[in-house]
């Protein structure tokens, strides 16, 4: 990669890791969409009361303070699995991936920050200047749902260059880190120092097990469960435990080691996260009853308008603006074959904010069911709108993407390695003509 070039083709090893991750997320995205659709249909069917009863049904030991509704279990426990995978991916990106070198990291990191800040600002401006506005949900339009976005990509942008796919994944990972930070600081309550101290001890124990190369799951599994419980009792949202444990996992393989612990865990846990944990959360969270509220009333509130504008407009504008600014600041240029409208298309995909946006909605408006329902409807509608516009943007570049893919995927000697990695070929730039 040239020193002043951004969004270049990833290395061969990083390409393989990236494509494996995206494949799992794409399948998970399809399951996620089905779960969300089922929740909406069920909640608005003649059997809608049974859906409400299911979400509110309590299970768990009362003596430990864990006799919780299924909806809370899904948000606090199942999404902790999701955020554990996020922590593993973040560690990989920081140590081995696109965030490991400052020159490569500055543009996607800045773009991700722009994609968080601008939607939040739009939400605040809308809700601060309209009657009945609510500032509590400013964190809702910040997050990107990578699984949902990749499901859209699988249908309308299969030939998207690997570099842009890597950019989208990096945006989502940094977004998730930002979201979990916002949750930990602004959407957690009743902080308990003693429980937090115990949680820190479990993190230290986990780090020591990694440091001394202990591999027994009989130590790790109880330790992580106990750490999750201490985090839950501390008042910090329990999903924070997942991302920190993931981040503490060793990502570099030792000499003679085929895979590092992080890679092994991603292969084993990612399918559980994408295929079960996140879809079940969607099933529990996406079932908004529209029979009494009405779609038009729900979407006309400042809360809903702030979320929709934040995701549909704020995300792509923030991502494109910050990426362009950092490229100008560093005097960098886009890699051959990639143009700025491609960055905008990826920004539109990033506007598909579903899973984490729903989580922040539940945390922000848990004491006001009407506002919660309005916010959830806005998240769903905004995600659909962003997906539709992104689909149009991707299809408009289909020919250019196909030309790039023809070079990136060519393997004339049938050795399983794309020829471009063996010959040093440069991708032609038909998209720029």
In a domain, 95, yes or no: yes
Q: Which residue has the higher pLDDT, 50 or 107?
A: 50
pLDDT at 258: 86
In a domain, 200, yes or no: no
Domain CATH for 302? 1.20.1530.10
CA nearest to 230, candidates 245, 218, 216, 217: 245
CA nearest to 404, candidates 347, 333, 335, 316: 335
CA–CA gap between residue 126 and residue 109 (Å, rounded): 26
Q: How confident is the model over 248-263, as pLDDT tens digits?
A: 999 999 998 888 999 9
Say yes or no to pLDDT of 426 above 60.
no
Residue 390, both tokens: 């992104």
pLDDT at 331: 80
In order of 107, 152, 219, 323, the CA distances from 333 in angstroms are 11, 28, 49, 11
pLDDT at 140: 93
pLDDT at 322: 94
Over range 141-161, report the average pLDDT.
Answer: 82
pLDDT at 176: 84
Q: How confident is the model over 310-327, as pLDDT tens digits?
A: 999 999 999 999 999 988
* Structural contact between residues 173 and 25, judged by C-beta atoms closer than 8 angstroms: no
Say yes or no to pLDDT of 391 above 50.
yes
In a domain, 196, yes or no: no
CA nearest to 283, candidates 30, 105, 17, 43: 43
Which range among 88-97, 119-128, 329-338 shows the weakest confidence by mean pLDDT?
329-338
In a domain, 76, yes or no: yes
416: left (phi over 0), alpha (psi -120 to 50) or beta: left
Please give the share of the chain, as a percent, with pLDDT higher than 70: 95
pLDDT at 430: 38
In a domain, 15, yes or no: yes
CA–CA gap between residue 356 and residue 353 (Å, rounded): 7
* CA of residue 129 relative to chain centroid, distance: 30
Domain that holds residue 316: 5-188+237-410
Number of CB atoms found within 10 A of residue 3's CB: 8
pTM to 2 decimal places: 0.87
Q: Which residues contact 373 (CB under 8 A, 6 or more apart)?
A: 288, 289, 293, 298
In the chain, the number of structural domains is 1
CA–CA gap between residue 104 and residue 102 (Å, rounded): 5
CA–CA gap between residue 64 and residue 384 (Å, rounded): 40
3-state secondary structure of 336: coil
């Amino acid at each position: 990669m040239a020193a002043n070039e951004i969004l270049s083709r990833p290395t061969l090893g990083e390409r393989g890791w990236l494509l494996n991750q995206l494949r799992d997320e794409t399948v998970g995205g399809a399951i996620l969409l089905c779960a969300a659709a089922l929740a909406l249909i069920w909640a608005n069917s003649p059997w809608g009361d049974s859906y409400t009863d299911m979400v509110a049904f309590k299970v768990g030991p009362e003596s430990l303070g864990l006799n919780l509704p299924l909806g809370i279990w899904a948000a606090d426990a199942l999404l902790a699995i999701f955020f554990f995978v996020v922590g593993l991916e973040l560690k990989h990106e920081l140590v081995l991936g696109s965030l490991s070198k400052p020159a490569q990291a500055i543009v996607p990191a800045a773009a991700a920050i722009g994609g968080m800040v601008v939607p939040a600002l739009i939400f605040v401006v809308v809700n601060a200047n309209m009657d009945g506005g609510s500032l509590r949900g400013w964190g809702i339009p910040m997050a990107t749902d990578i699984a949902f976005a990749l499901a859209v990509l699988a249908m309308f942008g299969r030939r998207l260059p690997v570099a842009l796919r890597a950019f989208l994944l990096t945006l989502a990972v940094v977004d998730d880190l930002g979201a979990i930070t916002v949750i930990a600081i602004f959407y957690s309550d009743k902080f308990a120092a003693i429980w937090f101290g115990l949680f820190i001890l479990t993190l230290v124990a986990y780090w020591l097990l990694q440091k001394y190369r202990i591999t027994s799951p009989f130590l790790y599994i109880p330790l992580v469960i106990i750490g999750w419980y201490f985090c839950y009792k501390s008042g910090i949202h329990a999903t924070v435990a997942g991302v920190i444990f993931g981040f503490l996992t060793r990502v570099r393989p030792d000499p003679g080691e085929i895979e590092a612990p992080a890679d092994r865990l991603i292969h084993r846990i990612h399918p559980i996260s994408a295929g079960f944990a996140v879809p079940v959360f969607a099933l529990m969270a996406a079932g908004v009853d529209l029979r009494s509220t009405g779609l038009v009333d729900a979407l006309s509130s400042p809360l809903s308008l702030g979320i929709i504008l934040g995701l549909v407009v704020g995300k792509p504008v923030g991502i494109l603006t910050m990426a362009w600014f950092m490229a100008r600041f560093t005097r960098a240029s886009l890699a051959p074959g990639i143009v700025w409208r491609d960055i905008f298309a990826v920004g539109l995909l990033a506007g598909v904010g579903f899973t984490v946006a729903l989580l922040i909605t539940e945390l922000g408006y848990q004491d006001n069911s009407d506002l919660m329902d309005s916010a959830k409807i806005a998240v769903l509608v905004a995600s659909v709108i962003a997906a539709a516009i992104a689909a149009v943007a991707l299809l408009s570049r289909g020919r250019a993407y196909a030309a790039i893919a023809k070079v990136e995927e060519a393997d004339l000697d049938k050795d399983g390695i794309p020829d471009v990695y063996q010959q040093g070929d440069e991708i032609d730039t038909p998209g720029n003509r």
